[in-house]
Amino acid sequence: MNQMKNEMNEKIEQLVFIDSLTMLPNFRYFKDVFDRKWKNAVRKQEPISLIIFDLDHLALFNELYGFEEGDKLLIKMAQKVKAMLNRPEDFLARYEGGKFIIILPETNMNGALQVAEMIRQGVETLQIPHEGSTTSSFVTTSFGVGTKIPFVWEDPFHFLKAVEQAMHSAKKSGRNQVIWNNVFMHDDKH
């Protein structure tokens, strides 16, 4: 009876915290992990970096190739990016739609920018055709990156929104690029 109860609890937890399409942690789970990693960065006064990226022209991809192919694309992106993250403390989650988010603890600006650019190039190497894109004939991604040495009074989700704004800037200024959120530039010395 206990084993069945444990299995049922495990399945419920999976439904609550795992994105059923990509099998990555979902945004709800991300918020819990981000809060813990943020508090750890506050305590240690070490940098924490965030990367938010979005698939360029996903709606057009779905219109052109169908939602089933769009779902396959999201799964492929999740697998590719997960395989590219080398450190166990790095955390990848599905944010929403075609957006993904990565927490890089103890990572400075240069390290975060290198990871983002490595992923951007890695997605390009997949050469997934996207005839509807005005950016490239293949699927591309746009990135927002930020690094912060946080203080106890700061709201981690204010930082998250600023990094998301950088991602939107990357989309508005041509897509398929990495944009650094310079609101936090004073923290790049570490």
pLDDT in tens, 129-164: 999 999 999 999 999 999 999 999 999 999 999 999
Tell me whether residue 136 is exposed, middle or buried, using C-beta atoms within 10 angstroms of its C-beta: 0 to 12, 13 to 18, 19 or more: middle
**Is the pLDDT at 38 greater than 80, yes or no?**
yes
Q: Each residue of 43-57: pLDDT tens digit?
A: 999 999 999 999 999
Q: Which value, to the nearest 10 degrees, does the dihedral of the CA atoms of residues 114, 84, 104, 186 take?
A: 10
Q: How confident is the model at residue 188 (pLDDT cuts 50, 70, 90)?
A: very low
Contact in structure between 179 and 170 (CB atoms under 8 Å): yes
| Whole-number pLDDT of residue 14 | 59
Report the percentage of the chain scoring pLDDT > 90. 86
- The pLDDT of residue 12 is 59
Work out the average pLDDT over 16-25: 93
Give whole-number Cα distances, 28 to 13, 34, 148, 185, in Å: 11, 10, 22, 28
* Domain 25-187 in this protein, CATH class: alpha beta
Domain ranges of the chain: 25-187
Q: 178-187, pLDDT tens digit by residue?
A: 999 865 544 4
pTM beyond 0.75: yes
Mean of pLDDT over the chain: 91
Report how far residue 159's alpha carbon sits from residue 13's, in angstroms, rounded to the nearest whole number.
28
pLDDT, tens digit, for every residue of 87-120? 999 999 999 999 999 999 999 999 999 999 999 9
